[in-house]
Amino acid sequence: PSRKSKEGSSVITAPKEHEKPIDSYVNENKSTVSITVVGASGDLAKKKIFPALFALYYEDCLPEHFTIFGYARSKMTDAELRNMVSKTLTCRIDKRENCGEKMEQFLGRCFYHSGQYDSEENFKELDKKLKDHEAGRISNRLFYLSIPPNIFVSAVKCASLSASSANGWTRVIVEKPFGRDSESSAALTNALKQYLNEDQIFRIDHYLGKELVENLSVLRFSNLIFEPVWSRQYIRNVQFIFSEDFGTEGRGGYFDHYGIIRDIMQNHLLQILALFAMETPVSLDAEDIRNEKVKVLRSMRTLNIDDVVIGQYKSQTIGGVSYQGYTDDKTVPKDSLTPTFAAAALFIDNARWDGVPFLMKAGKALHNRRAEIRVQFRHVPGNLYNRNFGTALDRATNELVIRVQPDEAIYLKINNKVPGLGMRLDRSNLNLLYKARYEKEIPDAYERLLLDAVEGERRLFIRSDELDAAWSLFTPVLKELEEKKIIPEYYPYGSRGPVGAHYLAARYNVKWG
Ligand code: NDP
Ligand code: BG6
C-alpha cells in the first residue's frame, strides 16, 4: 500500500499546497502523477530509475493514476522506449506469478518524448502530451534529472517554464554531483532557485535510501541501550568505510573531474556521519531531522590536508587476469593525479564528540566491496578480565558494526567466556544478519527515494544549507590537493589500498576494522 504524505511542495505557477482545495490531494481519484525521466536514454535511467519505478508499481505503491515519460535527445518511439526499459526490469521482490502481466501493464504506462534539454518549445510539446494523459485531473509532476550536471539548469528552466503543473505540485529530483566545490555548488543552487523553490528541489543522495542507513536513527533513538553510550565518554573512534572491488570502468571521464573525495566522501559518507552523530531531532519531520544534520556538519572542523591520504590504483595481474590501472582508461589523462582512494580524519567540535576521530576511507579497485560503519568503544576501566584474554586479544574492546552492504547486518563484538572449566575469554558477535532475520528482499535505495519524492517526503533529500556545510568542510583541502598537485600513493588493483591510510589511523591510535 502506498504511504501517504503529510504535506507536499509548492509550485511556481500554481497555488501553494496549503492554498489548494482540500480534495485536490485527499481524493486521489481526481489527481494524477506524471513522472518524467529527463535523460531517459542514459545509464542511470536504465539501470536504476525505470527498474525502481517498476518495483514501486509492482508493490502497488504508485498512485492509481500515473504516467511515466522518458525525455532525451535520442530519437525513440514509445515502443522503442518500452523495449529498452523491459530489458532491465526484473521481478526481484518475490516471484509472484503475475509478474509478466504487471510488467506489460507498467510498460503500457511508459511513453517517450524526444527533445533538447534547452528547448522550451520541446518541453511545451511534452507538456501537451502530459496534459493529454492527465485527462483533466489535478496534475502533479515529478521530473527526474538524470543528465550530466552541465545541463541541469537549462533543463530545469525549460521544465519549469514550459511543463510545470498548472494546478498541482511540481518537483524536481536532482542527481549528484551538486557542483565540485563550495563556489560551484552555490552557483548551481542559485541558478536552480531562479526557477524552483527550495521545497521543490529533491537533491538525491542514494546512500540515504539504503536500508541500514535509514535504520541508523531507529537504532539510536528507539533502543535504550545505544543512545547513552553514543558519545566521547564511551566511543573511541568511528569509521566510515566504502570500498569497491572494481575500478572506474566506463565512467573514467566523469570520475576524473571529481575524484573519490567528491564522489563518495563529501556526500555519501558525510551524510551517514551526520545521521550517526546528530543530536536527537525534535520529531521525525524532515525539517527537524535536517536541522540536526546541519548543526552537526557546522560543528565539524574543516578538513586539514595533514589528515588526508590519497591514492590511485595501478594495473595488476591477478590469477593470470590483468586489470587496468586508472590512467590506462582511454577517457582518463595519462598524467591524471585524481585520487581513486582517500582516507581522512574528521572531528566534531561539540560537547558530545570532542576529540573523537571520525575516520573515513573510500576507494575503488580494492580487494572487496563493502560499505560499513564501525564504532569502536573504549576500554573497560580496570577490567578484571584483562589477563584472561589470549595475547592477541589483549584488552579487547567492544565494536559495533553496521554493514550497509553487501549482506546487510548489525553486529556487536562482545567479550565472552569460552565454554569450559577454565576462564578464557574470546570476542564473539551478537549478530543480526538481515538475510537470516527478514525474509523479504530489501528494496533498492532508488525505490524508497522515488516513492518519497512522489509523496513529498523530504527527510532523505539534501537541503541546500546541508550541502553548503558539507562543501565547506572539503573545499579547502580539495583546492590544496589540486593546486599543490599532490601525488597520490599508488596501490595495485585489488589490493587493500595505500599503506598511508594505516599511518593516518595510527596517528589517532586507531586500527581500521
Ligand atoms: P549519461 O552520461 O548516461 O547521460 C544521460 C543522458 O544524458 C544520455 O543518455 C544522453 O541522452 C544525455 N547526455 C549525455 N551527455 C550529454 C551532453 N554532453 N549534453 C547533452 N546531453 C547529454 O549519465 P548517467 O545516466 O550515467 O547519469 C545521469 C546523472 O546521474 C548524472 O548527473 C550522474 O552524475 C548521476 N549519477 C549516475 C550514476 C550512474 O551509476 N550512472 C550514479 C550516481 C549518479 P541523449 O543523448 O539521448 O539526450
Ligand atoms: C555513486 C558513485 O554515487 O555511488 C559511484 O558515483 C559508486 O562511483 C556508486 O560506484 C556506489 O553506489 P552503490 O549503491 O553501488 O554502493
CA of 251 to the centre of ligand 1 (A): 10
Establish how many alpha carbons lie within 13 A of residue 339's alpha carbon, considering only the half-sphere containing its beta carbon. 28
Of the ligands numbered here, which is closest to the C-alpha atom of 210? 2
pTM given for the model: 0.93
Pick from 314, 308, 222: nearest CA to 266: 308
Of the ligands numbered here, which is closest to the C-alpha atom of 119? 1
Closest residue by CA, ligand 1 atom 39? 44
**Atom of ligand 2 at shortest distance to CA of 263?**
6
CA distance 265 to 268: 6
Q: State whether the beta carbon of 151 lies less than 6 angstroms from ligand 1.
A: yes
Q: State whether the beta carbon of 175 lies less than 6 angstroms from ligand 2.
A: no
CA distance 482 to 472: 16
Q: 28-32, 254-258, 360-364, 422-426: which has the minimum mean pLDDT?
A: 28-32
161-207, pLDDT tens digit by residue?
999 999 999 999 999 999 999 999 999 999 999 999 999 999 999 99
**Atom of ligand 2 at shortest distance to CA of 369?**
16
Closest residue by CA, ligand 2 atom 4? 264
CA distance 180 to 70: 28
pLDDT at 448: 96
Burial of 184 (0-12, 13-18, 19+ CB in 10 A): middle
Of the ligands numbered here, which is closest to the C-alpha atom of 45? 1
Per annotation, catalytic residue among 18, 113, 268, 379: 268
428-442, pLDDT tens digit by residue?
999 999 999 998 889
Query: What's the whole-number average pLDDT of the chain?
Result: 92
pLDDT at 6: 34
CA of 71 to the centre of ligand 1 (A): 12
Known catalytic membership, residue 379: no
Of the ligands numbered here, which is closest to the C-alpha atom of 80? 1
Residue burial 463-486, b: 16+ Cβ < 10 Å; e: rest: bbbbbbbbbbbbbebbeebeeeee
Closest residue by CA, ligand 2 atom 5? 263
Closest residue by CA, ligand 2 atom 2? 263
Closest residue by CA, ligand 2 atom 8? 263
Residue burial 438-456, b: 16+ Cβ < 10 Å; e: rest: eeeebbbbbbbbbbbbbbb
CA distance 400 to 373: 8
- Helix, strand, coil share of the chain (percent; to 5): 40, 20, 40
State mean pLDDT over 150-165: 96
CA of 263 to the centre of ligand 2 (A): 8
Pick from 3, 109, 123: nearest CA to 54: 109
Of the ligands numbered here, which is closest to the C-alpha atom of 150? 1
**Atom of ligand 1 at shortest distance to CA of 145?**
29
CA of 242 to the centre of ligand 2 (A): 10
pLDDT at 30: 86
pLDDT at 93: 57
266-283, pLDDT tens digit by residue?
999 999 999 999 999 999
Omega before residue 177 within 30° of 0, cis: yes
Closest residue by CA, ligand 1 atom 42? 44
Judged against a pLDDT cut of 80, whether residue 28 lies above it is answered with: no
pLDDT at 390: 61
State mean pLDDT over 395-406: 93
Judged against a pLDDT cut of 70, whether residue 484 lies above it is answered with: yes
State mean pLDDT over 338-357: 98
CA distance 395 to 378: 10
Closest residue by CA, ligand 1 atom 18? 148
pLDDT at 97: 67
pLDDT at 272: 98
Distances (CA, A) of 115 to 75, 98, 105, 234, 416: 8, 35, 26, 57, 64
pLDDT at 385: 86
Q: State whether the beta carbon of 176 lies less than 6 angstroms from ligand 1.
A: yes
Residues near 270 by beta carbon (within 8 Å), at least 6 away in sequence: 297, 360, 470, 473, 474
Q: State whether the beta carbon of 263 lies less than 6 angstroms from ligand 2.
A: yes
State mean pLDDT over 7-27: 40
pLDDT at 50: 97
**Atom of ligand 2 at shortest distance to CA of 371?**
16
CA of 463 to the centre of ligand 2 (A): 21
CA of 259 to the centre of ligand 1 (A): 17
CA of 300 to the centre of ligand 2 (A): 25
Measured in degrees and rounded to the nearest 5, phi and psi for residue 379 equal -70, 150
Beta bridge partners of 237: 376
The answer to whether 311 touches 245, Cβ cutoff 8 Å, is: no
The answer to whether 442 touches 212, Cβ cutoff 8 Å, is: no
CA distance 372 to 358: 13
ipTM value:
0.97
Q: State whether the beta carbon of 444 lies less than 6 angstroms from ligand 2.
A: no
Cα-to-chain-centroid distance, residue 127: 30
CA distance 321 to 10: 55
State mean pLDDT over 37-46: 96
CA of 343 to the centre of ligand 2 (A): 17
Pick from 371, 53, 364: nearest CA to 211: 371
64-120, pLDDT tens digit by residue?
999 999 999 999 999 999 999 999 887 765 566 678 889 999 999 999 999 999 999
CA dihedral 363, 342, 239, 458 (to 10 degrees): -80
Cα-to-chain-centroid distance, residue 362: 14
Q: Which helix (H) or strand (E) holds 104?
A: helix 99-108
Judged against a pLDDT cut of 90, whether residue 353 lies above it is answered with: yes
Q: State whether the beta carbon of 17 lies less than 6 angstroms from ligand 2.
A: no
